[in-house]
Structure 1
Amino acid sequence: MIDLSADLLAAAEADVIGLAVIGADRKMLRKMGRLVEWLPATGADCCECMLLVGMEDEFAALAAGRRDNIALAGVRGASPGIAQPVTAVVLWNGAQSHYFVIAMPDFAARQVETLLGSERRARRLMEQQLEAASAEVRFASLARTRLRLARDLHDTLVHSIVALLTQIRLIRHFLTADPARVADGLATAEDAAASGLSRAREAIARLRMPDDLKLEPDVEGVLADFADRSGVAVSTHIDERARDGLRDCGLTVQRILSEALRNVQTHAEARQVTFRAFEEPAAAGRRLIVEIRDDGRGFDQAIPTPGHFGLIGMAEFAELVGGTCAVQSAPGLGTLVRIALPVAVPPAASRGVLAD
């Protein structure tokens, strides 16, 4: 009679563990518990079991004392009734000349599976978040493109049409008041139309360029061209420390400056424009400050101007690079455009500040 420990028998009867006894000839003698149902039927060679096929030499080595046990970790799927992984150990009882098998739930493998399941869920969640972020990026890109189209339309077609309307009204006035000046008015209107066409073509070319294309800005050139074209006196004051920031942020400054100068030429009736660029400390790094001031007639900021988007476009240009653009004006007091843009601090400079 095979003698099994009472504790092991009780655990097997409660399905806490599984027990099996195998004779020295590898024939199954007894099985107890669901956790050993994967073993062959009583009387069959245990190596006929799918999980023990080809292990005759291992059993012989175990009986001869050349190895301590045969361990089968993470066994699962061998029995329809076993959902969790099982670890099985085959031992040799030399005194009674038989093998016995102890099978128990493999909690480590189960924990690994739980962790893997959590990892899979986390990966799925991350994939969903990435898809959502990608959708947001696509939406932001579309919104940016729409803003860019709106700004370029305003900067080209709107200004050109306004110039043409002005000339048409002058020509209509000349028809009755001074017919001799009609030809001059038509020539000016033709020049305005040609200029508008050229700027529209430039805008179309810009739309065909990628957003990240780096154009070479020329802020001082824009100011000089404006002075030559308009006859308005321009004074320029650029601090030496601000030149690096002005170069890095030059494209944004140039776009806002061009719009501000168009407003000066079209509406302000100014005699003097002052351009200042300097840097000031910020909470993180430095900040480039650009001020464009004119001594024109100014305007009342409390009065809405429907259909005019130049000031909105200037603010949007600054916001695209994390900055701000504020306009201050009042009737008879001119206009101040103040741009504040973040300036990256070079790594060497930041280390020098920390070293101090």
Structure 2
Amino acid sequence: MIDLSAELFPAAEAGVIGLAIIRADHVVQERIGRLVEWLPAIGDDCCQCMMLVGMEAELAALSEGRRDMIALASVRGASSGMDVPVTATILWNGAQSHYLVIAMPDFAARQVEVLLGSERRARRLVEQQLEAASAEVRFASLARARLRLARDLHDTLVHSIVSLLTQIRLIRHFLSTDPARVADGLATAEDAAISGLARAREAIARLRMPDELELMPDVEEMLSDFTARTGVEVSASIDDGTRDGLRNHSMTVKRILSEALRNVEVHARARRVQFRAMAERSASGQRLVVEIRDDGRGFDPMVPHPGHFGLIGMAEFAELVGGDCLVESSPGAGTLVRISLPATIPPVVPSSGTFVN
């Protein structure tokens, strides 16, 4: 057990704060409390989590003394009991050569000040928190950009490499069992590489184009293209009262639908897919509900799949517009993706600049 200060350790054990120890090589060494469950598991690289992707330079500056701390605002916990964001502070412990992550609910500056015992650090954290509180729209914009980049990488490079890997394994098998089929396997691998390159170029083009200008086929065209490409039978039911909602949330619905259809194509081995859009009334007002159901082999959502971010990305895209995306599945019972979004898009306050953690 790492020797933590008498003030911090009991608070972490009680769940008041969350604590984590990260080694100098960015490997998570210890996590205490549910408020740091958004970090990767012990033994994994901390920069694998969404909030720390690409922050190696900032962590290096912290360990080298070129900055005092790193403050992360609106970190969403991974625990099912976490329904509020937390503020996380990353400090460098020069004596023991490790990073210390302190996570607290909301913007509890007074608690941070007492626990850290440093007026200067607390003042800087308060300033960071105030900046985050007044820049929620800018933060959402940054999160959207990160999610968009992650989605495009997932949709292009990852799937193309998986396709190529499959063909390479087949070719290796043919070398010893059926050499006459090696040429066909190479041709298929070449086609997969050409297709992946084209999709990567399209992704780069999309990254250079604002979300509002991104051109994508409509939902019904996506379903038709999916059937033509895979042979999977698709039925669609779109209630008349949902047309406006689908137009309002066009980008969100199509991104989640694209990922759901890709999972059906690659993993589910389904014969039929059902798409349904309907309106529901809830305590918070009218909602647009979209369901995507397949009769495939299903899976256990509770089993972690390290390195796979498709399901996480679907939920995060829905959250960005005030909605949620739930996935229900079990082995042999198919999969249901259920998206619930507000019927109208919340007003967006224009802002300039880029929020940097």
TM-score norm. by structure 2 comes to: 0.57
CA distance in 2, matches of 1:203, 1:214: 11
1:312 — aligned with what?
Answer: 312
How far apart are residue 205 of structure 1 and its match?
0.9
Asked if 1:183 corresponds to 2:183, the answer is yes
The 2-side partners of 1:234 and 1:185 are apart by 30
1:163 maps to which residue? 163
Letter in 1 for 2:292: I
Query: Displacement, 1:144?
Result: 3.1
Aligned amino acid, residue 197 of structure 2: L
Residue type at the aligned position of 1:307: G
Structure 2 residues not aligned, in runs of 5+: 1-126, 346-357
Instruction: State whether structure 2 residue 263 is matched by structure 1 residue 263.
Output: yes
Change (3 A) 1:250 1:142: closer
Q: Which residue of 1 aligns with 2:51?
A: none
Tell me whether 1:219 sits opposite 2:219 in the alignment. yes
Q: Equivalent residues in 2 for 1:1-356 (5 A)?
A: 138-213=138-213, 215=215, 217-344=217-344
Question: What is the match of residue 19 of structure 2?
Answer: none
Is contact 1:245–1:343 with CA below 8 Å preserved after alignment?
yes
Cα distance between partner residues in 2 of 1:132 and 1:186:
52
Give the secondary-structure state (helix, strand or coil) at the position aligned to 2:332.
coil
1:128, 1:308 → 2: CA distance? 32
- For residues 149 and 310 of structure 1, the distance between their equivalents in structure 2, rounded to whole angstroms, comes to 13
* One-letter code aligned to 1:325: C
Deviation at 1:198, TM superposition (A): 1.2
* Cα distance per residue 1:134-187 (max 9 Å; x no partner): 666555443332222112111111111111111111111111111121122112
TM-score by structure 1 length? 0.58
Structure 1, unpaired ranges of 5+:
1-126, 346-356
Q: How many pairs does the alignment contain?
A: 220
Which amino acid is the alignment partner of residue 257 of structure 1? L
Deviations 1:65-105 (A, max 9, x none): xxxxxxxxxxxxxxxxxxxxxxxxxxxxxxxxxxxxxxxxx
1:187-233 CA distance string (max 9 Å, x none): 21111111111111111111111234364650001100000100111
- Which letter maps to 1:309? F
SS at the partner of 2:338?
Answer: strand
What RMSD over aligned residues (CA atoms) do the two structures have, in Å?
2.4
- Residue 311 of structure 1 aligns with an amino acid whose one-letter code is L
